[in-house]
Amino acid sequence: MLNIAVLVSGGGTNLQALIDAQHRGEISGGKITLVLSGKADAFALHRAEKAGIPTEVLLRKSFSAQEEYDRSLLEILSRYEIDLVVLAGFMTIISNHVVRHYENKIINVHPALIPSFCGEGFYGLKVHEAALEKGVKVTGATVHFVNEVCDGGPIILQKAVEVLPGDTPEILQRRVMEQAEWKLLPKAVSLFCEGRIKVADGRATIKED
Ligand code: GAR
């Protein structure tokens, strides 16, 4: 059974999707054993507490140097014997040092079809604002491994979602979450825990049952 840490900063709806999938028995090879928040008042912390999952709060601003923050993050992850790190709306940048410690063991959900609307500055509602600004007719979500390039790691799963006339960033964000993110993230975590994701030449492939 793999130990899963979910890193959050906000509302935690993706965390909730993972908790619900776990309760339905859909993540058979792993268990969420830690929720770590980058913000002290993240609503996601309440979701974790309600589900009986241990929580930690780690603020980037509490550390002057990146190395000190990294050391503290790695110490927490190793104390909980974490095998898989899931970034579910985590808004603190993960350094290359940490990425190297957990190579192809950090999964991120991004609310667009990478390589569209991704990279530095594209997070949360900003992604949907940019999609609407461009006038794309289809957007979606991507779950990928985290590597040293922002939103550039091997893509595990993607799902397209329609953009509809009259959409606001908030309406589009909600549709992308409901139709894509909340399904893709638990699925990718489950596949990982079953050892069914292989990475070669910078690309991820899923092994059939
Ligand atoms: C989600 O839409 C997630 O894809 C996005 O932040 C939101 C968090 O919502 N992440 C990024 O933009 C990362 N670049 P949640 O806290 O309700 O899960």
Q: Do 67 and 8 belong to one domain?
A: yes
Minimum CA distance residue for ligand 1 atom 1: 89
Domain final position from 64, 79, 102? 102
DSSP H helical segments within 24-154, as ranges? 43-50, 66-79, 96-101, 125-134
**Where does residue 34 fall: left (phi above 0), alpha (psi -120 to 50 degrees), or beta otherwise?**
beta
Block residue for tokens 């190395």? 67
Domain of residue 29, CATH code = 3.40.50.170
59 and 147 within one domain: no
Are 76 and 128 part of one and the same domain? no
Q: Distance from the CA of 197 to the center of ligand 1, in angstroms?
A: 23
- Domain identity same for 132 and 203: yes
Among residues 102, 119, 152, which one ends one of the domains? 102
Centre of ligand 1 to C-alpha 89, Å, is: 4
- Tens digits of per-residue pLDDT, 196-205? 999 999 999 9
Q: Give how far the C-alpha of residue 194 lies from the chain's centroid of Cα atoms, to the nearest Å.
A: 18
From atom 17 of ligand 1, which residue's Cα is the shortest distance away? 13
Shared domain for 48 and 77, answered yes or no, is yes
Say whether both 66 and 90 belong to one domain: yes
Q: Is 12 in the pocket of ligand 1 (CB under 6 A)?
A: yes
Both 64 and 160 in one domain: the answer is no
Q: What is the mean pLDDT of the chain?
A: 98
Domain ranges, residue 45: 1-102
Which ligand 1 atom sits closest to the C-alpha of 15?
18
The string of pLDDT tens digits covering residues 58-99 is 999 999 999 999 999 999 999 999 999 999 999 999 999 999
- Residues β-bridged to residue 110: 142
For residue 152, the CA-to-ligand 1 centroid distance in Å is 16
Distance CA 154, CA 202 (A): 6
Whether the pLDDT of residue 209 is over 90: the answer is: no
